[in-house]
Structure 1
Amino acid sequence: MGWLRFAEAGRIISCITNPNTAYMIPVCVEEIEDIVSVAKYILVVEKETVFQRLANDKFCGTHQCIVITGRGYPDVPTRRFLQRLVKQLHLPAYCLVDFDPYGFDILTTYRFGSMQMAYDAKLMRVPEMRWLGVLPSDLEKYQVPERCLLSFTTEDKKKAKAILSRCYLHQEAPQWRLELEIMLHRGKKFEIEALSASSLSFLSEVYIPLKVQEGHI
């Protein structure tokens, strides 16, 4: 089934109607009816550029999944829509973000809610969200080129330390916290696109399918 109302928010590649067709995220989630999908999982990507790459590679149709981007920090409609998809379709959800504190913060926004809207966290959080990547171990495993690595700025370090102090990382996601500690210790960051330095379709053909198969954290 399709959706009747759309807005300038996040975007979705949907297998609910036509594979590899992109739509805007609907604002009025309550008005959506009869959501049906043959998708096997939901993939949330941080950035529009990665979203477009996957669309060009026809990733959704090939792998039977739903791909969503909030174009950075997700807005309320994107988070509510994602939560409804996960609950109604009973699908696993994975998130792919940049290897930096801001990407990690976006990841936690999807799973735990926004720090600015903590009072509404339960209405929009997706506790089932798994971290697909990018992970510290990917740096060596996929031989990210040195030219793609950037050193942490003072602001990056401040951001990482602030996130590490959040109680939910201690209580609900200790492994995520450990990965962030490793990231801070290394003091290096890189974007998702760095993984595709050797091949434009690396994410679609190798990285994402392998990570999904592994289940990830």
Structure 2
Amino acid sequence: MEGKRSCLSSSIPSDLLRRIRKLTLSILTNLSNGQSPVVQIDRFRNYCTETSGNCYCNCGISVGKELLTLQRECHTRRLDVLLRVLLVVQTLLQQNRHGSKRDIYYMHPTVFKEQSVVDRAINDICILLQCSRHNLNVVSVGNGMVMGWLKFSEAGRKFDCINNPNTAYPVPVHVEDVEIDIIGVARYILVVEKESVFQRLANDSFCTRNRCIVVTGRGYPDVPTRRFLRLLIEKLHLPAYCLVDCDPYGIDILTTYRFGSMQMAYDAKFLCVPEIRWLGVFPSEVEKYCLPQQCLLPLTREDKTRVEAMLLRCYLRREAPQWRFELDLLLSRGLKCEIEALSVQSLSFLSEEYLPSKIQGGVYI
């Protein structure tokens, strides 16, 4: 998959338009000949539950094909949606314009019925055309924010975070148009799960004191945030740490940054950040920092089910056994907590003691 994409260059729009024409012509030819068209979509995954160590989930290799035909009603609907979305993509490419997934949904809301239907079609189109989503000129409404010792420009618009290192700037949506102009004073990149923690660090002038860059995806990171983080690490060659809640969702967000998501497994090699290290909050730290019982919450049945499923993921067993150990400890103790629970020590404990001491002491996994 990666090799095939490398042939896409500045001529990406014309290449993709050629592929769209080839795909639609194939379908029309089958229909004119009285045959049911068959659309083959490769299937990818970024993890499995294989325990033998013989899986190939992280190799960007298709694990099978899904065949869509007009002989099944559910497939007919998927093909209808796929072709409608493909027509929008073709128009965007021809006119050199960009549109959001939400824009596409509202073009045929009675047909699509829900956003997830459009999202699935976009992923199918990326696989069929062997490209990434941004190549289709389909963009997300960015949720990510960044602050710290960084300068960059996006399509000619300049962002000088260094002048106000504790001020939040939006993560650029068109990451392919970003140019990094960095003064070599940033020591590391810190990714935080939540906006509330990001704002806490801004209020405490964390970036000024520690000469770093802080990024947040405000929950599960969107594609622009993950692409921007990957770009920063590739261009600046800085260590990257991740701070998440000590709960199943926080740890799942952590794995999304490092290993990618199952939904976009076909693009994992271009979105994942294998260099990222888990800085906290670890289940094993609860006693160390003397968090009172009132700061701890019992895992719900849904939490336990999620943890049990995560423990089966092959990449944790193969590439992050220490992460898996902490996850197992979370399940066995049955208690979770938020990052903000550390404020029981003092309001500035997180920014003045917890984070600096862990980074300086190398207490991360």
TM-score category of the 2 structures, normalised to the smaller one: over 0.9
Paired position in structure 2 for 1:10: 144
Counterpart of 2:239, as a letter, is P
Q: Is the contact made by 1:60 and 1:66 (CA closer than 8 Å) also made in structure 2?
A: yes
Report 1:25-104 matches (<5 A). Answer: 25-37=171-183, 38-104=185-251
Deviation at residue 8 of structure 1 after TM alignment: 3.8
Shift of 1:201: 0.4
Task: Report the CA distance between 1:174 and its aligned residue.
Answer: 0.8
Amino acid at match of 1:182: L
User: Contact conserved, 1:93 with 1:129, CA < 8 A, in 2?
Assistant: yes
Is the 8 Å Cα contact of residues 343 and 349 (structure 2) preserved in structure 1? yes
- Report the residue type matching 1:58 in the other structure: S
SS at match of 1:55: helix
C-alpha separation in 2, matches of 1:212 and 1:103: 19
Q: CA deviation at 1:116?
A: 1.4
* Long gaps (5+) in structure 2: 1-140, 151-161
Kindly provide the CA deviation profile for residues 167-199 of structure 1, in whole angstroms up to 9, marking residues without a partner as x.
000111111111100111000000000011121
1:172 is matched with which residue: 313, 319, 335? 319
Distance 2:208 2:342 in 1: 22
Match of 1:23 among 163, 169, 191: 169
Secondary structure of the equivalent of 2:286? helix
Letter in 2 for 1:189: K
CA offsets per residue over residues 105-136 of structure 1, 9 Å max, x none?
00000000112111111101100000000002
Contact 1:47 1:72 (8 Å CA) reproduced:
yes
Q: 269, 273, 279: which is aligned to 1:126? A: 273
**Aligned equivalents of 1:90 and 1:69: distance in 2?**
19
Match of 2:352 in 1: 205
Moved over 2 A (4+): none
Number of equivalent positions: 212
The answer for unaligned runs of 5 or more in structure 1 is 1-6
Q: Secondary structure at the match of 1:91?
A: coil
How far has the Cα of 1:140 moved from its partner?
Answer: 0.8
Q: Distance in 1 between matches of 2:254 and 2:222?
A: 13
RMSD (CA atoms): 1.2
State the 1:14 CA deviation: 2.3
Please point out which of 321, 339, 349 is paired with 1:192: 339
Which structure has the larger Rg over C-alpha atoms? 2
Sequence identity (%) = 66
Counterpart-to-counterpart distance in 1, 2:196 and 2:181: 27
**What is the alpha-carbon distance in structure 2 between the residues aligned to residue 57 and residue 140 of structure 1?**
26
Q: Is 1:147 the counterpart of 2:275 in the alignment?
A: no
